[in-house]
Structure 1
Amino acid sequence: MAANNSLADDDLLNRHIRFFSLQFLVTIFLSVNLLLIVTFFQKEYFYTTARYILFAVMLLSDSLLLIVSNILLIFTHFRINIQVWLCIIICVVPLLYLTVTPVTLTAMTLERYVAICMPLRHGELCSTRNTMHGILIIHGLSSVPCIAILSTIFVSASLSFYTKYWMCLVELVLLQAWQHHLRSAVYQFQFLVLCIMIVFSYIKIMKVARAASGEDKKSTKKGLRTVLLHGFQLLLCFIQMWCPFIDAAVLQVNYGLYEIVRYLNFVFFYLAPRCLSPLIYGLRDEVFYHALKNVAYLGLYKRNNM
């Protein structure tokens, strides 16, 4: 009996350690994102340039996704049950913004393709107005999987289903196996289309890189590395799309194991891809990096004065 109590206490302690360490990582990530967003609004050049606007959209969508996903993790950790209708409303955000990031990454890749392969038309095609239209298109395309998944719930569930109190997990809201298969098919098709676009852009930029010389060659190679990093981010995002299916399979086996797997998936496939965004545009981009340093120094200066 004492041994069982000791094991239960150890398990509870491990759950709390995982939970609070995750909250620490989430806080750091959101703080860095907030600093980058503040930097974005410091200069008119940033919010009138296509690649920085798309970068800001990705930062905001990543932050929103992380906040809502973290709320759902808190519900899971403390075993908080809510009504299904409220859970579905909350789940709209992760379902939508799960795909906003990969679609935005693809749009940023296409912007680099236009800048390097079609420099004379870059100002026209990537104007502020066209970028705003592009943001609407990004959210429109990203809403397709969300609408498809929610439609399967509305078609198959009865009215009494929405008044039940459940743990708020998308895996539990999808009642039928075919709903999970449809979700998987939509995500995989979307990923395939995005991959084709990124590979196309990479090949075109690589051809320009071979033909360029001097400063142009240096700039083109930097663009090529950026596209490669976008491709790596997209790969992590694709793995992230598989996380719910892994979670659902593990949930059928053991709830304790499910919590561990969900924690690891959250760290490696939710946090990690989004930590690359500050690296690509926050540190590798010289203009943004200098602006970021100025904002950080100004913040430290004000803090020291206080």
Structure 2
Amino acid sequence: MVNSTVQSTYVMAAQVMTTGQILRTVIVVLMPLCFGIFVYFMVIILNVFFTAPQVRETSRYILFIHMLFNDVLYLALSFFLFVCVNYRILLPIPICFIITSFSTCMFRITPYNLAVMSLERYTAICHPFRYVELCTAQRSCHAIAYMWTVGMVPQIANVISYCCYADPRSFYFDVICDWRSLTMNDFQIVLRTLNDILSFSIVGMTIAYTYVKVMLVARRMGSGNKASKAGKTVLLHAFQLLLSMLSFTTSLTETYLISYFKYLPFTNFFFVMCFPRFVSPLIYGVRDEVFGKAMRKAPSCQREPSLT
């Protein structure tokens, strides 16, 4: 009886390991494939952006290109960390801190960027006479700088907190590079949680406010094509923001639900953290008149697009 119980335990453990290995392998295969498709569409969009002077001076396109660059870097760093963690590749703590700090910063910049893009659409639709004044290329660059500042400040505070509590000799150690390995005190956990909640709240309120305002204006405009397009554009921004905001829930779900769903980190990584970044160029690019034309006619995208 005991032998059969032990044997069944080994069988169940083997099945768990096999399932985990399968999921890990599937993600390792899917990530480069999706990343390649993402980069392909990004190249098409960048070709349009850099060959059309009027596009380079448009606020929403500047913000969109920044989001694409940010997502490419984030996906590359995230995949590198995913491989290191799951294949037990050790990294020096200083290198790990640099990678995780930039990765976490880029993780939060995407929803910030989408929130600013929603505000840009809100200004264009609700305050069209002030749009040229408020949404300039220079102001867009300033907004990008503010995003990076807001994203990096908590990471700098996290590094300072670690240095205050950790033994100086620990910087010579090699660790499995994830945020748990770099957490030394409760302040870091509180800082991470508060930052996630605050970011989630600000982005959520921004999309709710802009969506309601734009839809009210669109309703007053009637049932014409312009009103319909405005409503669909804001709805697409809302969908993008919703996908991006779901990534804020990963730390909570992996803390409280990991005992019920053993493979939650795998599914969270691909479907919650990476998938929203993959679909961004498709959601926004295909919908946009300038980029959509080039993406639908990829072989002919070398010619300068018409902006009329």
TM-score by length of 2: 0.84
Deviations, residues 106-149 of structure 1 (Å, cap 9, x unaligned): 11011111111111111111111222222212222222332333
Of 160, 175, 184, the residue aligned with 1:175 is 184
* Bigger proportion of residues as helix: 1
Of 272, 277, 282, the residue aligned with 2:280 is 277
Match of 1:229 in 2: 236
* In the alignment, structure 1 residue 39 sits paired with structure 2 residue 48: yes
Aligned length: 294
Which one is further off, 155-164 or 48-57? Answer: 155-164
TM alignment of 1:131-280, pairs within 5 A: 131-213=140-222, 217-247=224-254, 257=262, 260-280=263-283
Measured in 1, the distance between the counterparts of 2:199 and 2:210 equals 17
Which one is further off, 105-114 or 173-182? Answer: 173-182
The residue type equivalent to 1:170 in the other structure is W
Distance change >3 Å, CA 155–CA 55, structure 1 → 2: same
Q: Which runs of 4+ in 1 moved over 6 A?
A: none
Ranges in structure 2 where 5+ consecutive residues have no aligned partner? 1-6, 304-308
Q: How high is the sequence identity, in percent, across the aligned residues?
A: 30
Aligned-partner SS, 1:82: strand
TM-score by length of 1: 0.84
Which one is further off, 81-90 or 204-213? Answer: 204-213
Match of 1:87 in 2: 96
Which one is further off, 114-123 or 222-231? Answer: 222-231
Match of 2:292 in 1: 289
Distance change >3 Å, CA 250–CA 164, structure 1 → 2: farther
Measured in 2, the distance between the counterparts of 1:211 and 1:299 equals 38
Distance change >3 Å, CA 131–CA 237, structure 1 → 2: same
Q: Is the 1:109–1:201 Cα contact (8 Å) retained in structure 2?
A: yes
Measured in 2, the distance between the counterparts of 1:188 and 1:8 equals 33
Q: Is the 2:45–2:294 Cα contact (8 Å) retained in structure 1?
A: no
Measured in 1, the distance between the counterparts of 2:204 and 2:17 equals 46
Aligned-partner SS, 1:45: helix
Q: Is the 1:65–1:97 Cα contact (8 Å) retained in structure 2?
A: yes
The alignment's C-alpha RMSD in Å is 2.9
Q: Is the 1:171–1:244 Cα contact (8 Å) retained in structure 2?
A: no
Distance change >3 Å, CA 93–CA 218, structure 1 → 2: same
